[in-house]
Structure 1
Amino acid sequence: MALATPPVGRRERNKQAKLERITAAARELFAEHGVDEVTTQQIAEKADIGTGTLFLYAKTKGELLLLVQNSGYVDALEEGRAAAQSIPDALDAVMAIIRPIVECNRIQVDNGRTYLRELVFGDPEEPHHRDALALTVQTEEAIAGVLRRDDLVDSDDAATLARVISAIMFISMATPANVASTVDDILQEISDQVRVLLP
């Protein structure tokens, strides 16, 4: 017999509701104005909380951006994993994983590039930064899973290749040379590089 999950208390429900309001407010303001043009005070006001309360959920504007982008990244990664399952060709399956991630990152180009900068240089002890790092690991695991379908690629090589492919993806999204590039341009650049790596 399964144990019943105890009901969530009022305090936890209130915390979750505030987090959802903060995420929604930051997402809307960042999408409309870009992360650099939005203040934490504006986010707090839109979320109908005090600035001090806001900092209990995210200590910096960079952490707020990670919070917002992570939620989109989770959905993008799930979409990519699902698409890759039915694609037999390794390159096409890898690109099926990558496509929604690139699309998510390019919704607002400056925000996407700032997210990647926060991911690389942010404080790994911050919870939203840890979540972002976990998502990169999950992305690499999804790519490695596709690569392991090939009998010529052992598990260690699949993990190494997945890490290299992940690096290619992040560099292609972050590089200043691609600021004006379309999603399809970036995907083609990634695909061209990944193609030469695969057996």
Structure 2
Amino acid sequence: MSVAPRPVGRRERNKQEKLDRITAAARALFAEHGVDEVTTQQVADMADIGTGTLFLYAKNKGELLLLVQNSTYADALVRGTAAAEAIPDVLQAVMAIVRPIVECNRVQIDNGRTYLREMVFGDPEEPHHREALGLNVQTEEAIAAVLRRDQRIEHDVAATLARIVTAIMFLNMAPTINIASTVDDILGAIEDQVRVLLRR
């Protein structure tokens, strides 16, 4: 006998509706002005809530950015992982995972760089930061799964190499020196470095 799912209560629906409004407001404001030029008050006003309520969902602007960018990153990772499944070449399959992540990170370059900084230096006790770290782990796992197609790469070594590939990706997206670089410039640099890493 199957059990019918419990209906979502009014309180949960209200919380989700507020979260959706906060996310939409922050996404629109950050895209238009950049995260550094937006205040939490502006986000609260656009979401039609009080700042006290806003801080129940994200305690600071860094957490707001993580909230917004995490969903974009997650979608990019899903697309990249799906694309990699159809590519037999290991290096090109890894790059298929990396490409949409780099693309989404570069939509608004300052926001993308701030997101990486928040991911590395933010408070791991905060829920959106934990989610960002979880996405990083999922990225490593997706890359490791591709690397394990190469029979020369042992299971544990694949996990270590995947962590290095992820670090290479972040270190090519984050530096100030790469602000003017195109997505293709960054992907080219990442591919060159990963090629050397995988030369065994």
Instruction: Provide the C-alpha distance between the structure 2 equivalents of 1:11 and 1:89, rounded to a whole number of angstroms.
Output: 49
User: What TM-score, normalized to structure 1?
Assistant: 0.99
Asked if residue 19 in structure 1 is aligned to residue 57 in structure 2, the reply is no
Q: Which residue of 2 aligns with 1:53?
A: 53
Amino acid at match of 2:91: L
User: Displacement, 1:5?
Assistant: 1.2
Asked if residue 123 in structure 1 is aligned to residue 116 in structure 2, the reply is no
Q: Which residue of 1 aligns with 2:155?
A: 155
Q: Which residue of 2 aligns with 1:173?
A: 173
Q: Which residue of 1 aligns with 2:112?
A: 112
Instruction: Provide the C-alpha distance between the structure 2 equivalents of 1:178 and 1:32, rounded to a whole number of angstroms.
Output: 21
User: Displacement, 1:75?
Assistant: 0.3
User: What TM-score, normalized to structure 2?
Assistant: 0.98
Query: Residues 101-136 of structure 1, C-alpha deviation per residue, up to 9 Å, x if partnerless?
Result: 000100000000000000010000000000000000
Q: Which residue of 1 aligns with 2:85?
A: 85
**Partner SS state of residue 44, structure 1:** helix
Query: Residues 20-60 of structure 1, C-alpha deviation per residue, up to 9 Å, x if partnerless?
Result: 11000000000000000000000001001111000000000
Q: Which residue of 2 aligns with 1:145?
A: 145
Asked if residue 42 in structure 1 is aligned to residue 26 in structure 2, the reply is no
Instruction: Provide the C-alpha distance between the structure 2 equivalents of 1:173 and 1:4, rounded to a whole number of angstroms.
Output: 46
Q: Which residue of 2 aligns with 1:68?
A: 68
Q: Which residue of 2 aligns with 1:6?
A: 6
Instruction: Provide the C-alpha distance between the structure 1 equivalents of 2:129 and 2:167, rounded to a whole number of angstroms.
Output: 17
Structure 2 gaps of 5+ residues are none
Q: Which residue of 2 aligns with 1:94?
A: 94
Instruction: Provide the C-alpha distance between the structure 2 equivalents of 1:177 and 1:155, rounded to a whole number of angstroms.
Output: 35
Asked if residue 33 in structure 1 is aligned to residue 30 in structure 2, the reply is no
Instruction: Provide the C-alpha distance between the structure 2 equivalents of 1:42 and 1:82, rounded to a whole number of angstroms.
Output: 37
Amino acid at match of 1:176: T
Amino acid at match of 2:72: G
**4+ runs of 1 displaced by more than 3 Å?**
none
User: Displacement, 1:2?
Assistant: 3.0
Instruction: Provide the C-alpha distance between the structure 2 equivalents of 1:21 and 1:135, rounded to a whole number of angstroms.
Output: 23
User: Displacement, 1:177?
Assistant: 1.1
CA RMSD of aligned residues (A): 0.6
Structure 1 gaps of 5+ residues are none
Query: Residues 55-84 of structure 1, C-alpha deviation per residue, up to 9 Å, x if partnerless?
Result: 000000000000000010010000000000
Q: Which residue of 1 aligns with 2:132?
A: 132
Amino acid at match of 2:149: R
